[in-house]
């Protein structure tokens, strides 16, 4: 099953990030393993039909994968088969007529403003570089709406504290500039000062590094959010994604325009941003009633 040309295409022509590239590779290898174990692969990729793909879908569901996860894997497979059609390796994609699985709409419940305040102003951080690092990560998530992988990959050269701007490289290498509020600038300066005092030596140009000077792992960042929000809330979902959702929801609550939020979050479409606004419908109604000219006249 020739997947390398497709993966090279994603990396070199589509300019996908290494994170996305690895995710695509993992999904394709998963499908390849399924075909091999089902003794289908030996007949060649052109013999794979929707029946085999449907069997894979069933196996994924039996393994406990959600509809969202299955659809994400199928999206990768669909892109792969489109690539094969364009390159005349196959004539028709076996997924041409397939529709995505229906999903229950699950919008993560954002943290309240008070919960975020309790975390950012809490006195429970270690009095060392690790503590300052953890608080800085939480602050940057909330003050900028940055994604976890964007935070991990943020380079020193893309952080301008004096100007109060960070340049973020998002999905598909799309760049965006995010302003830094004075409180966030102070926190970043404190982190740099602490790095110098504790003689933290970087092993790369990454802005955020561990106490050993190494690149942060996704697990470390996730556990940082979970650890400190466990101290202030009983909400079941505590993750960088929920904190990013909170950033968008709280901006909306304060009357920010959805297009401005879209730009800050690096979304390619307004539909993606609207996903984050469902939890603030009461606020939208309140603003609507206060500002609509017909409502104001009555």
- The pLDDT tens digits of the residues spanning 107-135 come to 678 899 999 999 999 999 999 999 999 99
Q: What share of the chain is helix, strand, coil (3-state, %, to 5)?
A: 60, 5, 35
In angstroms, what CA-CA distances link 13 with 9, 172, 264?
5, 11, 26
CA dihedral 134, 136, 137, 142 (to 10 degrees): 130
Q: Please list, in sequence order, all residues whose beta carbon lies within 8 angstroms of the beta carbon of residue 285, skipping any fewer than 6 positions away.
A: none
Full-model pTM = 0.64
Cβ(218)–Cβ(148) under 8 Å?
yes
Q: State the greatest distance between any 2 C-alpha atoms of the chain, in Å, as a whole number.
A: 73
Q: What is the spatial distance between Cα 137 and Cα 144, in angstroms, rounded to a whole number?
A: 11
Q: What is the spatial distance between Cα 283 and Cα 78, in angstroms, rounded to a whole number?
A: 39
Confidence at 277, pLDDT banded by 50, 70, 90:
low
User: Using CA of residue 14, residue 107, residue 257, residue 145, what is the dihedral sign?
Assistant: negative
- The pLDDT tens digits of the residues spanning 183-196 come to 999 999 999 999 99
Mean pLDDT across the chain, nearest whole number?
86
- The pLDDT tens digits of the residues spanning 47-86 come to 788 888 888 888 888 888 888 888 899 999 999 999 999 9
In angstroms, what CA-CA distances link 189 with 27, 121, 126?
40, 17, 18
Residue-range domains of the chain with CATH: 4-86 (1.10.150), 113-289 (1.10.443.10)
């Amino acid at each position: 099953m020739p997947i390398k040309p497709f993966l090279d295409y994603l990396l070199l022509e589509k300019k996908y990030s290494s994170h996305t590239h690895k995710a695509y590779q993992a999904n394709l290898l998963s499908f390849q393993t399924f075909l091999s174990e089902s003794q289908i692969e030996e007949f060649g990729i052109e013999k794979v039909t929707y029946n085999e793909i449907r069997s894979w879908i069933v196996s994924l569901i039996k393994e406990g994968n959600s509809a969202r996860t299955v659809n994400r894997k199928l999206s990768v497979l669909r892109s792969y088969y489109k690539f094969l059609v364009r390159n005349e390796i196959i004539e028709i994609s076996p997924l041409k007529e397939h529709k995505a699985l229906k999903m229950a709409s699950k919008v993560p419940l954002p943290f309240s403003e008070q919960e975020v305040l309790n975390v950012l102003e809490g006195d429970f951080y270690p009095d060392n570089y690790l503590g300052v690092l953890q608080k800085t990560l939480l602050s940057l998530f909330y003050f900028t709406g940055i994604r976890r992988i964007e935070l991990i990959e943020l380079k020193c050269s893309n952080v301008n504290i004096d100007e109060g701007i960070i340049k973020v490289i998002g999905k598909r290498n799309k760049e965006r500039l995010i302003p830094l509020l004075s409180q966030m600038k102070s926190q970043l300066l404190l982190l740099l000062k602490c790095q110098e005092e504790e003689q933290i030596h970087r092993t790369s140009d990454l802005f955020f590094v561990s106490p050993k000077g190494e690149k942060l792992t996704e697990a470390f960042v996730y556990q940082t959010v979970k650890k400190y929000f466990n101290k202030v809330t009983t909400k079941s979902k505590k993750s960088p994604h929920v904190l990013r959702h909170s950033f968008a929801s709280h901006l909306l609550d304060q009357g920010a325009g959805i297009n401005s939020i879209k730009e800050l979050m690096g979304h390619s479409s307004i539909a993606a941003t609207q996903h984050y606004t469902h939890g603030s419908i009461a606020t939208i109604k309140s603003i609507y009633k206060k500002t609509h000219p017909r409502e104001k006249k009555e």
